[in-house]
């Protein structure tokens, strides 16, 4: 059935005359008759009664006359729409967004759009649930979606990060907890909470994060579910409840100080706002609007043709983001790290028997240069957030055990014996972990160096100290003396290299102590070598002063991430997940003003000492600091091996195969996927 056949039929039906219809259509009467006959043959019935020159509609003809006009109207609308698109005059755009986005992010954008394009009608629909927004996109009821969720599990939707925001605890200013700067969800289970329905984005985000941490809302003593933000507001202000909200929610109440926000340890990083488009349209729309590959990019030469309303909207988002720098963070030398968007679909593990993977991590929480690789990840729950949960890990449960050690020696033994899966070690102990154990039972267990944690380019963060009243003032004064060092530590390596460089190695006795006692119980020692922050703490207490604060061998100091060969080979995705968590922890430390004070609280180390040891990119011109650094410096490692392998007891260093031991591909994948 052709549209033109319907047009001919409608003219004959309107005039009830083939002759009049032929005049209107500028056709011959035989041509009109042929079109009608062809249509009747196709539908299998007559449309007209013919009695001489008189023509009447059959019952089917009457139905087609009534309904066929709708088809012509649709055709006219389609032609008109196509012509508008061809001329760049498509005059309407339909936007859909979640309730939070509609309150805090979209209104200024719509205002700007209407001011810039007054002839384009813009319609904004608000969706209370994630599913309703998803359905509207795939059913083409809206042209563009904006959401806190990426819907990454749906291949028919394209998601592009366009802005960022923060989740936090929200409560009335009169609440007893309101004076806190940071709180943890795990410490708030005894309080009364109010939350929105399960299918709302905020609730999905909260419950997804709780699941990662091995808890649920059922573990909280009192949880009330309400249908609307206005009801939630009432519970917060009148019932002293706690709530979970994005920075878009309750803006007026926050500005008037009726409600306040408190940072949550489990939500230390910002989250993304996503632009959602049907996949089949995304490539052309994003490329024409200077957005691609899921990220905003700077303006390039656009095609000369006019942009359609959707492209104009996306271009406006781009210009707004570039001017406000909402996606890129140029003030810090680090790419923004965001929390992942949770899956819209909750995957059930009922069909498979859960597989539990136990992860044992050896860390040195008191060793400040490694704090981002251990304590920060642990406190912020970042490893749980980045662990794989799709594909072969879809039915996996994780049990994470953090083992805190005062020194690296037990971490070396744990990695080599298979009791630890990941360990944080300084430069010298990292190299020791690469040497095969003399114990036959341990020889099959090897380590892989997968990342750096921190770097001290001038090697100044290991130091030799002496009692405050000591008569020793130089390295030469140690000749014939005893210096105590924590065994197998970076300070141990520094002392051996420094003494060897000064030709004093055979003239100074190196005694080993366990390094965990800051009172230095070895009364027979004349001096002590230690790594940060312990020498700084000892000197700050007034009992010691610095004898040697420089690495005379001239080698940079570093700390590294070591993974067991078994973990690296069997579960490479877990190693990558840990490195993602490390990258996020370092980004948090560099971009969070209260990071040092929190680390000080967690480690019980004075903030002044912390600031002397830790640094961030804006302070790289200062020495005596460790800098967050994940890039593996093979040249540094090779030079350490050269210098140490000439020292008695370290000859086996020369047997380390760096090409096999160092595996930078894990770090590359972590950087590419965060």
CA distances from 191 to 28, 208, 230, 242 (A): 86, 20, 21, 7
Name the 3-class secondary structure at 264: strand
Task: Give me the pLDDT at residue 560, please.
Answer: 97
Cα dihedral 395/397/398/399 (nearest 10): -160
For the chain, give the mean pLDDT: 86
Hey, how many other C-beta atoms are within 10 angstroms of the C-beta on 500? 18
Task: Give me the pLDDT at residue 297, please.
Answer: 47
- The burial of 475, by beta-carbon neighbours within 10 Å (0-12 exposed, 13-18 middle, 19 or more buried), is given as buried
Work out the average pLDDT over 478-482: 93
Hey, how many other C-beta atoms are within 10 angstroms of the C-beta on 318? 22
Out of 171-175, 334-338, 486-490, which region has the weakest mean confidence (pLDDT)?
334-338
Q: Check pLDDT > 70 for residue 85.
A: no
Query: Can you give 504-558 as a three-state secondary structure string?
Result: CCCCCEEEEECCCCCCCCCCCCCEEEEECCHHHHHHHCCCEEEEECCCCCCCCEE
- The burial of 471, by beta-carbon neighbours within 10 Å (0-12 exposed, 13-18 middle, 19 or more buried), is given as exposed
Strands 242-246 and 295-296: unpaired
For residues 406 and 35, what is the distance between their CA atoms, to the nearest angstrom?
93
**Tokens linked to 379:** 């406190």
The runs of H, that is alpha helices, within 87-183 are: 99-104, 106-116, 130-138
574-625 pLDDT, tens per residue? 999 999 999 999 999 989 989 999 999 999 988 888 888 886 544 445 555 7
Hey, how many other C-beta atoms are within 10 angstroms of the C-beta on 343? 16
Task: Give me the pLDDT at residue 296, please.
Answer: 46
Task: Give me the pLDDT at residue 309, please.
Answer: 87
**String of DSSP letters for 576-622:** HHHHHHHHHHHHHHHH-TTHHHHHHHHHT--HHHHHHHB--GGGTT-
Edge-to-edge strand ranges of the sheet holding 509-513: 509-513, 482-486, 527-531, 462-467, 544-548
Task: Give me the pLDDT at residue 294, please.
Answer: 45
Q: Check pLDDT > 80 for residue 74.
A: yes
Task: Give me the pLDDT at residue 295, please.
Answer: 47
Do the Cβ atoms of 557 and 490 come closer than 8 Å? yes
Q: Check pLDDT > 80 for residue 350.
A: no
Strands 157-165 and 271-278: antiparallel
**Residue with the two structure tokens 């309400």:** 226
Higher pLDDT among residues 304 and 334, named by residue: 334
Hey, how many other C-beta atoms are within 10 angstroms of the C-beta on 597? 14
648-666 pLDDT, tens per residue? 999 999 899 999 999 999 9
Task: Give me the pLDDT at residue 325, please.
Answer: 47
Q: Check pLDDT > 60 for residue 438.
A: no
Work out the average pLDDT over 622-639: 85
Work out the average pLDDT over 88-107: 84
**Tokens linked to 493:** 């390596």
Name the 3-class secondary structure at 140: coil
Work out the average pLDDT over 386-406: 93
Higher pLDDT among residues 518 and 144, named by residue: 144
For residues 561 and 575, what is the distance between their CA atoms, to the nearest angstrom?
10
């Amino acid at each position: 059935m052709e549209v033109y056949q319907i047009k001919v039929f409608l003219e004959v039906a309107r005039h009830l005359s083939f002759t009049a219809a032929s005049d209107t259509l500028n056709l011959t009467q035989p041509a009109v008759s042929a079109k009608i006959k062809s249509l009747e043959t196709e539908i299998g019935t007559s449309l007209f009664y013919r009695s001489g020159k008189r023509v009447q509609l059959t019952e089917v003809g009457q139905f087609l006359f009534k309904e066929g006009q709708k088809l012509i109207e649709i055709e006219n609308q389609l032609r008109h729409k196509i012509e508008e698109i061809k001329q760049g005059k498509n005059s309407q755009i339909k936007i859909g967004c979640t309730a939070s986005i509609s309150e805090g992010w979209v209104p200024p954008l719509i205002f700007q759009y209407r001011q810039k394009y007054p002839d384009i009608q813009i319609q904004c629909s608000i969706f209370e649930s994630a599913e309703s927004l998803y359905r509207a996109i795939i059913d083409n009821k809206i042209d563009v979606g904006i959401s806190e969720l990426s819907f990454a599990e749906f291949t028919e939707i394209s998601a592009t990060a366009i802005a960022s925001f923060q989740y936090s605890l929200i409560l009335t200013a009169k609440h007893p907890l309101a004076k806190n700067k940071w709180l943890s969800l795990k410490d708030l289970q005894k309080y009364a909470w109010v939350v929105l329905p399960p299918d709302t984005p905020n609730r999905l985000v909260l419950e997804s994060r709780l699941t990662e941490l091995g808890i649920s809302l059922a573990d909280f003593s009192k949880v009330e579910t309400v249908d609307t933000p206005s009801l939630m507001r009432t519970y917060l202000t009148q019932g002293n409840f706690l709530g979970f909200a994005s920075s878009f929610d309750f803006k007026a109440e926050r500005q008037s100080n009726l409600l306040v926000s408190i940072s949550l340890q489990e939500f230390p990083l910002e989250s993304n706002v996503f632009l959602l488009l049907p996949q089949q349209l995304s490539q052309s729309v994003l490329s024409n609007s200077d957005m691609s590959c899921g990220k905003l990019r700077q303006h390039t030469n656009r095609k000369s043709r006019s942009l359609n309303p959707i492209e104009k909207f996306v271009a406006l988002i781009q210009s707004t983001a570039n001017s406000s720098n909402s996606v890129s963070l140029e003030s810090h030398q680090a790419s923004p790290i965001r929390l992942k968007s949770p899956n819209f679909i909750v995957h059930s593990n009922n069909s498979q028997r859960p597989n539990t993977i136990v992860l044992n991590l050896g860390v040195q929480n008191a060793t400040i240069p490694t704090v981002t690789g251990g304590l920060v990840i642990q406190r912020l729950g970042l490893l749980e957030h980045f662990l794989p949960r799709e594909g072969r890990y879809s039915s996996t449960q994780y049990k994470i055990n953090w083992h805190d050690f005062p020194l690296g020696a037990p971490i070396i033994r744990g990695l080599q014996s298979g009791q630890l899966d990941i360990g944080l070690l300084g430069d010298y102990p990292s190299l020791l972990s690469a040497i095969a154990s003399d114990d036959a039972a341990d020889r099959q267990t090897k380590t892989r160096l997968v990342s750096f944690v921190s770097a001290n380019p001038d090697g100044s963060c290991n130091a030799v100290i002496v009692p405050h009243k000591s008569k020793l003032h130089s390295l030469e004064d140690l000749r014939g003396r005893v210096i105590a060092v924590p065994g197998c530590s970076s300070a141990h390596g520094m002392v051996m290299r420094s003494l060897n460089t000064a030709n004093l190695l055979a003239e100074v006795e190196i005694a080993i102590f366990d390094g965990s006692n800051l009172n230095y119980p070895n009364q027979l020692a004349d001096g002590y070598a230690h790594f940060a922050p312990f020498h700084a703490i000892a000197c700050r207490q007034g009992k010691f002063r610095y004898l040697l604060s420089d690495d005379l061998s001239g080698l940079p100091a570093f700390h590294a991430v070591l993974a067991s060969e078994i973990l690296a080979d069997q579960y490479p995705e877990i190693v990558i997940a840990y490195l993602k968590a490390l990258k996020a922890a370092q980004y948090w430390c560099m971009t969070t003003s209260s990071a040092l004070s929190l680390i000080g609280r967690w480690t019980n180390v004075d903030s002044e000492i912390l600031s002397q040891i830790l640094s961030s990119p804006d302070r790289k011109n200062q020495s005596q600091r460790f800098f967050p650094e994940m890039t593996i410096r093979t040249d540094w490692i090779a030079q350490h091996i050269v210098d140490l392998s000439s020292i008695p007891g370290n000859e086996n260093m020369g047997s380390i195969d760096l090409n096999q031991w160092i595996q930078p591909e894990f770090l590359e994948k972590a950087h590419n996927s965060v």
